Amino acid sequence: MKAIILAGGEGKRLRPITAKMPKPLVPINGIPAIELIIGQLADAGITEAAVTTGYLAEMLENSLGGECRGVKLTYFREKTPLGTAGGIIPARDFIAGDDFIVASGDSVSDISFSDASDRFFDMGRSPMIILSHADEPGEYGVVLTDGGGRVTGFSEKPSISSTCSDTVNTGNYIFPAEIFDSIPEGVGCDFGRDLFPALINEGKPVVSFCTDSYWCDIGDCASYYEANMRQTGGENSAEPGCIAEGADVRSSVVMKGCTVAPGARIDGAVLCPGVKVGDGADIGKGCVIGDSSVIGAGAVVAAGTRLEPDTVISAGSYVGGGGFSGAATLLGGGGIRFPREKLTLGLASRIGSALASVFPGGRVGVMHDGSADAFGITSAILRGLRRGGCGSILCGQGFAAEASLAAAAMKLSLSLFVCRAGEDIGISFFDGNGLYPKRETERAFVAAMSAEPSTAALPGKSSVCGVGADYYLPMLTSGGVSLYGLHCTVRGGGMAAAMLKRALTSLGAMPGDGLTLTISEDGFSLTAEQNGFVCDDWHIKALLLRYTVRGEAALPVSSPAALSDIGGGRVKRYTRCPSGNGEDGIRALAGKNPELIHACAAAVSLCTLIVRSGKSLEKLSEAIPPFWYGSFEYKSPSGRDLSVLPHLGTPAGDGVYADYFRGGVRVVPTECGYRILADAVSGEYADELIGATKREIEKRMKKQ
């Protein structure tokens, strides 16, 4: 058996470490990552390996030479990147009909290729993916398997809410030589995205070997640092002679050629080759200092700062980072949330600059809740957008649903809503359909926040727009309906309730007892009550689907199953944060029925239905089959454990779903646990399903 080592990647998320160094050569406690991998292959009896190179290929080839750890190396340089699978085609003659291992050249692991090879032959020499477990699968390809280890499906870099397993593709495989016949020549082809799904669709077996051994994809600076600290037990990884006596250096990676002067203090940072740190300089946690940079005496580099190669920081100066640095919480389907004291105006401007790099030449609107904190952050975000060359629109004061409509009505690349959330600041994101953006946008934004900010040659244009008067109120009142004679009361604090009162009054409704409408502060949820009969948000949507919505309609995949039955097959489903373009048509459809998204629009439609039909809320609801929708936020003290998900149900867009005789349960992972959603024929049975699911989660977590 031979091996092919994939070593052509540029490692953009590892910059500035990879600015002057190919990713496979980054040192893990002083040893290049690829050399550790070659050693593992040698332990499995491999004596010959092909190495596919690309970025800084000559440096990599010169460093390894023709032999490493007893393994003879043959190089194949990629002129045009053709993906992980397409990239191995040139090595076909080298393999010469043998079975072979494909190893990732830029990960660190304790994977036993010998054990994996044994499994490969036991499984009949079918193409094999080596899997591992990941606490955060969102940066990897999640692989779904049956009880026997056969691969059944894939979920590429899912959002938190779409995650259905913690088993991920390590980028290591074992193949029979015949696999080359399934890889198209001259076109891009990726193992996880293209080849394996194609094989499964053709009914051909793809199998797995799941290891519990350590595995780390050193894809970004944080994981690179963690891999080094695991190797050193938390001590420094430093070349001898780099750190002068009297310097205080803790838990840091100091590469060759660096000099750290007496009195310098470095804590939890990475110094690339040739960095010089002056006397009394202070470098904080999470910093990455690029090759040959100079940090002057007494200079302070704030935590989380990344400096490109050859940066010179003058003596006594201060450099502030501006990345997340652990201060922000990414929400799986809402936006980002910062502790109030951590979200500085500089960091808010950085958010704007990052969004400008995600949407070059686009237009981004920003709305706030009217609080002083949110207004200041909004202004700073707008400055960052303009500096990055993106069009920026101040959408004024409003509520979250209003910002959602602004994105769709004004055809924006993105709309933001900034608000106080307790002691935090929340920033919600909405795409051009008024929904939370797709996974690709989410990942691009996070990557841009980790990169150095750029300034456009020409600043972006700025403007101001009154969304409420120009778009939201006309959307509610343009139907030409009259609500004269309807007496209703609107409850709920904030601007959403004020907007609804204004709309109903302009349509002729009068205040008074009769129909009571309670709207949430964000403007997305509505409850109605009339003569003691209560209709919650989902049952209001059911009424609208039954009586007023014409044609196809789009709803979240996590909404009650009964709505599909009520819609008569017209209901399409979309996930919260999808990957790829497969749901684009459905997401566009969602914006065409604002009453299924916006509580104000739902309220106007419901009032119109009551007036036109002459029927009470209770009488109208008699046509709706009974259903109950319950939810429970399960917060685990030890955090979520994604390995329990496959035991709770089957993948279903957002999380996993288990179908029962009189209902079903969906379990969606969140930042700190799980959201349990029960869809049943009665409230009592929904509570039973939630309770049983909680107990199953606890039982599974105790076994881990």
DSSP secondary structure of 443-486: HHHHHHHHSPP---SSPPPEEE--HIIIIIHHHHHTT----TT-
Of 75-89, 263-277, 666-680, 689-703, the range with the highest mean pLDDT is 263-277
pLDDT tens digits, 193-213: 889 989 999 999 999 999 888
Q: What is the pTM of this model?
A: 0.73
Starting at the edge strand found earlier in the chain, the sheet holding 526-530 runs: 510-511, 487-491, 515-519, 526-530, 533-535
Find the helix or strand (DSSP H, E) in which 43 lies.
Answer: helix 33-43
Residue scoring higher pLDDT (569 or 310): 310
- Which pLDDT score, from 0 to 100, does residue 646 have? 87
Structural tokens at position 314: 């003058």
pLDDT tens digits, 70-88: 999 999 988 888 888 898 9
Residue 213 lies in a domain: yes
* End position of a domain, from candidates 582, 599, 621: 621
* End position of a domain, from candidates 469, 502, 523: 469
Any idea what the CATH number is for the domain that residue 460 is in? 3.40.120.10
Question: What burial class does residue 24 get, using C-beta atoms within 10 Å of its C-beta: 0-12 exposed, 13-18 middle, 19+ buried?
Answer: buried
Sequence-distant (6+) residues with CB within 8 A of 27 are 33, 228, 237, 253, 255
Q: Which residues of 321-353 are buried (b: 16+ CB within 10 A; e: fewer)?
A: bbbbbebbbbbbbbbbbbeeeebeeebbbbbbb
Same domain, 312 and 367: no
List the single range of 18-27, 95-104, 150-159 with lowest mean pLDDT.
Answer: 150-159
Helix runs in 255-387, H state only: 345-358, 372-387
Distance, in Å, from the CA atom of 555 to the CA atom of 665, rounded to the nearest integer, reads 17
Helix runs in 518-571, H state only: 537-547, 562-566
pLDDT tens digits, 420-446: 888 888 899 999 898 999 888 888 888
Same domain, 660 and 688: yes
Residue 474 lies in a domain: no
Same domain, 122 and 8: yes
Distance, in Å, from the CA atom of 484 to the CA atom of 88, rounded to the nearest integer, reads 72
Q: For residue 234, which of 216, 246, 252 has the smallest C-alpha distance? A: 252
- Which pLDDT score, from 0 to 100, does residue 328 have? 43
Residue 428 lies in a domain: yes
- DSSP label of 437: P
SS3 567: coil
Residue 324 lies in a domain: no
Structural tokens at position 61: 């080839």
**CA separation, residue 548 to residues 37, 340, 533, 558, 622 (Å):** 62, 43, 21, 22, 16
Average pLDDT (581-598) is 89
Starting at the edge strand found earlier in the chain, the sheet holding 673-680 runs: 628-635, 673-680, 663-670, 656-660, 650-651
Residue 227 lies in a domain: no
Residue 225 lies in a domain: no
Average pLDDT value over all residues in the chain = 87
Any idea what the CATH number is for the domain that residue 141 is in? 3.90.550.10
Map tokens 């077996």 to a residue: 205
Is 321 in contact with 306 (CB distance < 8 Å)? yes
Same domain, 542 and 493: yes
- Which pLDDT score, from 0 to 100, does residue 318 have? 79
Distance, in Å, from the CA atom of 385 to the CA atom of 379, rounded to the nearest integer, reads 10
Map tokens 């006309």 to a residue: 474
Average pLDDT (219-239) is 90
Q: For residue 410, which of 463, 370, 458 has the smallest C-alpha distance? A: 463
Structural tokens at position 382: 């707008």
Residue 85 lies in a domain: yes
**CA separation, residue 267 to residues 14, 229, 250, 258, 285 (Å):** 19, 13, 5, 16, 5
pLDDT at 27 over 90: yes
Same domain, 462 and 414: yes
Same domain, 309 and 338: no
Strand 67-68 to 71-77 pairing: antiparallel
Any idea what the CATH number is for the domain that residue 687 is in? 3.30.310.50
List the single range of 346-350, 548-552, 637-641 with lowest mean pLDDT.
Answer: 637-641
Is 583 in contact with 575 (CB distance < 8 Å)? yes
Q: State which residues form the domain around 144.
A: 2-217
Which DSSP string corresponds to 608-633? HHHHHH---HHHHHTTSPP-EEEEEE
Same domain, 577 and 516: yes
* End position of a domain, from candidates 621, 643, 676: 621
Same domain, 210 and 301: no
Same domain, 128 and 152: yes
Same domain, 42 and 167: yes
Q: How many domains does the chain have?
A: 5
Same domain, 486 and 458: no
Same domain, 655 and 680: yes
Distance, in Å, from the CA atom of 543 to the CA atom of 613, rounded to the nearest integer, reads 12
Residue 224 lies in a domain: no
Q: For residue 554, which of 585, 522, 600 has the smallest C-alpha distance? A: 585
Average pLDDT (459-473) is 68
Phi, psi at 275, each rounded to 5°:
-75, 140
Map tokens 């934004």 to a residue: 445
- Which pLDDT score, from 0 to 100, does residue 302 have? 84
